[in-house]
Structure 1
Amino acid sequence: MESSEGTGGLSGEIEVEAYRRLFPLPFYERHLLESVRPDARPLNRARDTTIALGPVASADGSALVKIGDTTMLAAIKLEVMTPSTDAPDEGSLAIEFQMPPICSPSVRPGRPAEVASVISKQLSDVMMSSEMINLKELSLISGKAAWMAYLDIYCLSADGCLFDAALLSAIAAFSHLQIPLVSVNDDGRVIAVFGELPEAKLKLELVNKEKRKLSLGSKPFSLTCILHEEYILADPNAEEESIMDTFVTVVLDSLGQLVSIYKPGGAALANMSTIKACIALTKSRVKELNNILSESLSEMEVD
C-alpha cells in the first residue's frame, strides 16, 4: 500500500504534467523567470551533440549527427558526369533533405513535409555561399569529366532545430568524404574505380593516383534561437518551437564570419541588440561544434 507521501508526490507530478499540457506557454514562462528551461538547461545552452563518421559503408562519405534527440543521417555518393560548358572545370553538388514518417508524428505517410523543401534550399544556399567546397576540386578532366556529389540527408528523429542538425551532418559527411580512384578505359571514357584496383586493370590510366579528401574551406555552422519577450532560448527543442513562434537562425563560418541570418517568421521583431546577442551565442556554438568535429575526425584516424 502506498504511503500518503508517495501518493502526494505522484499526484503532484500528474498535476504539473496536466498544467504543462493545458497551459504550455504559462508553464514555460514560469521557468523563464528563473532563467532555466523545463529540461534544466540554461537559456543560452545548446543540447548535447555527437557526431559519428562513416556509418554508411556504401557511401563515399557519411555522418550520423545527434543534437539532443534530433537525429540526422547524411550520405554522399559521387558519380562521374560531363561538366557544363559554362563551367568546364567544375563539378556539381545536389542536396536533398528528406523527412520520412518515422521522424515525427506530424509527418504523414505519402505526404512530403513542407519544411523539407525549405531546408533543402537553405542548405544549398549556405553550402554555396560559404564557399566551403571548391567545385574545381571535383573536376577530373576539363570539359570532359567531373564529379557530381549527391548529398542526401535523412531526418531520423525531429525534435527541433532541424536545419542546424542537417547542416552539421552535411559538414561532417563532407569532412569524411574520400574521392575514389578514376581511370580512363580503352574507349576514352572516364570511369570510377571503387574498392581495390584489380590486377587486370592495373594498366588502365589513372586520372588521380590515390584516394584523397577535399580541402574544405571555412566550414559553416548554425545556431537557431527562439525570441520570447526579453528572453533568448538557444537550440530549442520541438516543444519549445511549437509554443513560441519567433525564430532567428544565425550561420557563421569557422572563422567567425557571418554567412547568413534567417528569420522565417513570428510576431516579435528582432532589434539589433537581439541579433548581436544571437550572433554572440552562435560564435560560442561554432567553437564547440568545431571541437566536436575535430575530435570525431581524430578518432576516425586512430581507428
Structure 2
Amino acid sequence: MSTSLISPAERGYIREGISTGIRNDGRSRQDFRDYIVNLDVISHSNGSARCRVGYGTDVLVGVKAETMLLDPTQPPNQGKVVCHVECSPSVVRRWDQRTADDLNNNLTQFLTRCLNQYGGIDLGKLCIIPGKACWVLYVDALVLDFDGNLHDALLLAVRGALFNTRIPELNVQEVDEGEFDFEANSDPEAAQPVPGWEKVPLCVTLNRCGEHYFVDATATEEQCTEAKLSVVINHLGEICAVQKGALGAIPHQMYADMIQSASHLVTQLLSALDERLQKEASTNLANQNGKHVSTFIRKNFH
C-alpha cells in the first residue's frame, strides 16, 4: 500500500539494491526488521498485544471474550471468532477514504480467513451449552502506524494477544430437566487460556522485484515491487492461507520457491516468538505488579 510518491531515480536505486542483495537499509533479501511484541497493553480486555516492526509499522490487538446465545444458523457445538481491523486516523490521512476503507476490509477479511477456518483455535471448546450458548472471541486490531508488511505484523500481534488472553471459567448447572444455566467464576486464577492458541499461524509476505523476491518490505519498497505473496503457515508447517497482492504476475518456479522459503521462515519465526512468550509465562511476569511484558526479537532468518 503506497503512502507517497517516489522518483524514478529512487525507485531504480531500491530495485538495484534488491537485485544485488543489499537493500537501502542494509538488510539482505531474507532479513526481517526487529520485532517488538508487548503483552497486556489494554485494560478491560481479556488479552492484548502490540507489535512494532522496526521504527514503522505498529499494530495493537485486543481480545474480548463474551457469552452469546447460539443463533439457529450457527453450528450447535462451536463458539465463534469475530475479527475487525481498522487503521487509525493518523494512518488513514495518508490515503483517500476509499483506499483506507478497502485496506480495512482487506485486512479484516484476511484475519477472518486466518482465524476461523484454519486458525487453530478449538471452536468446539468455546461451546458452553450445546445448541444454547457459546463463547465469542472478538479480535479487534488497530493499525497505529504503517511502514509496510502489515499482514505479518498483524498476525504477530494477534498470536501474542491470544497467548495473553484468559477466558473466565464457567460453572454450568442444570436448573430444570433439560434446561441449563451457567455462572462465571470471578476468580481470575481459574481463567483458562484460549484453546488452541498455540496453533494460531503466522504470516510471511514475500515481494517480487524483477527476478528476485524479498521479505519484510518497507512502504517505500512495496512501491517498487510487481507482486507480493502472503503465506500463512501454522506450527506444523501446514499452509493455512495464501493471498496475492499487487498487479504483477509471479512465475511458476518463483511461486514454488516463495512457498518453500515462507515455510522455512515461518517455522523459525514461530520458534523465536514462542520461546520468549513461554519464558515470560513460566515466570508469570505478565501478571506481576501490572507490568507489561516486552518481547524483543532481533534475529535474521535464513
Shorter-chain-normalised TM-score: which range?
A: 0.7 to 0.9
Greater mean deviation of Cα atoms: 156-165 or 128-137: 128-137
Q: Which residue of 2 aligns with 1:81?
A: 68
Residue 32 (structure 1) shift = 2.9
Does the CA contact (< 8 Å) of 1:101 and 1:109 recur in 2? no
Q: Which residue of 1 aligns with 2:232?
A: 251
Residue 113 (structure 1) shift = 3.2
Does the CA contact (< 8 Å) of 2:78 and 2:134 recur in 1? yes
Q: Which residue of 1 aligns with 2:194?
A: 214
Q: Which residue of 1 aligns with 2:299?
A: none
What is the one-letter code of the residue matched to 2:276?
Answer: E
Residue 82 (structure 1) shift = 0.7
Residue 184 (structure 1) shift = 6.3
Residue 54 (structure 1) shift = 1.3
Q: Which residue of 2 aligns with 1:42?
A: 28
Structure 1 counterpart SS, 2:220: helix
Give, in whole Å, the separation in 2 of the partners of 1:226 and 1:125.
Answer: 21
Q: Which residue of 1 aligns with 2:243?
A: 262
Q: 2:159 aligns with which of 171, 189, 195?
A: 171
Encode CA deviations 1:97-146: one digit per residue, 9 max, x unaligned.
Answer: 01012236414689853211111001111212324111111111222221
Q: 2:252 aligns with which of 267, 272, 283?
A: 272
Superposed, which structure 2 residues align to 1:64-75 within 5 Å? 64-68=50-54, 69-75=56-62
Structure 2 counterpart SS, 1:113: helix
Gaps of 5+ in 2: 1-5, 286-302
What is the one-letter code of the residue matched to 2:35?
Answer: T
Give, in whole Å, the separation in 1 of the partners of 2:49 and 2:148.
Answer: 19
Residue 93 (structure 1) shift = 1.0
Does the CA contact (< 8 Å) of 2:81 and 2:115 recur in 1? no
Larger Rg: 1
Does the CA contact (< 8 Å) of 2:92 and 2:100 recur in 1? no
Q: Which has the higher contact order (CA 8 A, sep 6+)?
A: 2
1:237 correspondence with 2:218: yes
Encode CA deviations 1:221-253: one digit per residue, 9 max, x unaligned.
Answer: 111111111111211011111232411111111
Residue 33 (structure 1) shift = 4.1
Q: Which residue of 1 aligns with 2:269?
A: 289
Superposed, which structure 2 residues align to 1:92-171 within 5 Å? 92-103=80-91, 105-107=93-95, 112-171=100-159
What is the one-letter code of the residue matched to 2:22?
Answer: V
**Which structure carries more strand by proportion?**
2
Give the direction of change, closer, same or farther, for the CA distance of 1:104–1:184 in structure 2 (3 Å limit): same
Structure 2 counterpart SS, 1:153: strand
Does the CA contact (< 8 Å) of 2:48 and 2:161 recur in 1? yes
Give the direction of change, closer, same or farther, for the CA distance of 1:194–1:66 in structure 2 (3 Å limit): farther
Give the direction of change, closer, same or farther, for the CA distance of 1:35–1:66 in structure 2 (3 Å limit): same
TM-score when scaled to structure 1? 0.80
Q: Which residue of 2 aligns with 1:16?
A: none
Structure 2 counterpart SS, 1:132: coil
Give, in whole Å, the separation in 1 of the partners of 2:43 and 2:243.
Answer: 34
What is the one-letter code of the residue matched to 1:166?
Answer: L
Gaps of 5+ in 1: 1-19, 197-208
Give, in whole Å, the separation in 2 of the partners of 1:238 and 1:111.
Answer: 15
Identity of aligned residues (%): 22
Residue 287 (structure 1) shift = 2.5
Residue 22 (structure 1) shift = 5.3
Encode CA deviations 1:86-105: one digit per residue, 9 max, x unaligned.
Answer: 42221111100010122364
Q: Count how many residue pairs are aligned between Structure 1 and Structure 2.
A: 271
Give, in whole Å, the separation in 1 of the partners of 2:14 and 2:99.
Answer: 32
Give, in whole Å, the separation in 2 of the partners of 1:253 and 1:272.
Answer: 23
Give, in whole Å, the separation in 1 of the partners of 2:96 and 2:247.
Answer: 25
Q: 2:13 aligns with which of 27, 40, 45?
A: 27
